Each structure stands twice: as C-alpha cells, then as structure tokens.
Amino acid sequence: MSLLRAFVAIEIPNEIKKEIAGQTAGLQRAIAQSVRWVAPENLHLTLKFLGDISSTNLGVLTQALETEASQQAPFQITVGSLGAFPNMHRPRVIWIGLEAPAGLGKLQHSIDAATNRLGYPSDDKPFSGHLTIGRVRQQSSSAEMAGLRSALEKTKVGLMGTFSAKSVHLFRSDLQPDGPIYTCLFTAALGGRPFTR
C-alpha cells in the first residue's frame, strides 16, 4: 500500500493563468523576498484537500467524485480581484478572488460531505473560493511586512477572465525542493457528461 498526497480541484484555463501572472508581475517583483509565489501552471481552485490517501482507496474516491460531479451542472466563474488571508493588514496568503454562482459552494459542500463519509475530515474553516498565488514567508521582518502591505494596497488588478467549470479533478501532489508537482489522477465531468478538454 502506498500513500499519495492528494486534493480535489477545478482547473484554471491557461489564458487566465497568463493574465493573472501578467497583472501580478509588478507585485511579485516588488515583494519577491517576502513571499513564496505559486508557479502559474500550479494555479487551481481547491475544493478539498485530502492529505495522504492510500492508493487502495482510489477506486472508492473516484466513484464518490463521479457521483457528486454528475449531480451539479457546469457553471461560469469570473476571475478578478486581489486579497489576502486573514486580511490585507496581516497577510499570510495572497489570493485572486472569484465570482461564482451558488453551484460552486454546493459542489464543494457535496464533495466535502462525500469524502468525509470516506474518512477524510472536513476543513474547520468555511469554504471561500479563491486562487492562492503566494504564501508569506514566516521569517519576514517587520520592515518586509510593511513593504508587503504597502505593495498590496497599491496593486490594482482588473478582470482576468471568465471560464466555464465543466469538471473536477483529483490531483496528486509531489512535494519537491523547487515547489510541488501536480499530476491529474482522475477527472469527473459536471452534469455527468463525458469529459472533453
């Protein structure tokens, strides 16, 4: 039995990833030392972080994903705001915001409930759809944090695009010194349609 680090997510189209990289390039240069930036190819909308899963559980997990995805129709997501958790004054995670219909929350909740029944604990924080673009380094000095806050306040981003969420993916995450490598293990189409890229 082998263990895989895994999560469930919606993929972001490449043109939107490029737009995010372009609109945040100045911010990334300004605070390069204080933040670990997510590589554009790794941007995704996480619905459920599973942690370590057993390879023997893949069958029941993919079946559960397929069932939940089939009950939710595809929907549109608009990408285009900048924020931070817990807030802009004490940033720990820098993110790009999303506008989506209630279907996104419903999909996340149903996947969370289904995986919870399989033994994967629910997150104790309420779901907030976002794309993490950077994580603030814990050892940042107070001067670096002041510079970070100032750069975040000055950065204005516009609309980065709208796309149709048609499927959810089970990703494997392999942690490497240069950053994680994500591999798609399974895709479930929303609405039960055959999945096409």
Q: Which residues are catalytic?
A: 44, 130
How far is the first Cα of the chain from the last one, in angstroms, to the nearest whole number? 32
Q: Which two tokens stand for residue 75?
A: 């929907």
Q: Which two tokens stand for residue 33?
A: 């030392």
Q: Which two tokens stand for residue 36?
A: 């670990």
CA torsion through residues 12, 15, 18, 20, sign? negative
Please give the Cα distance from 82 to 99 (Å, whole number). 12
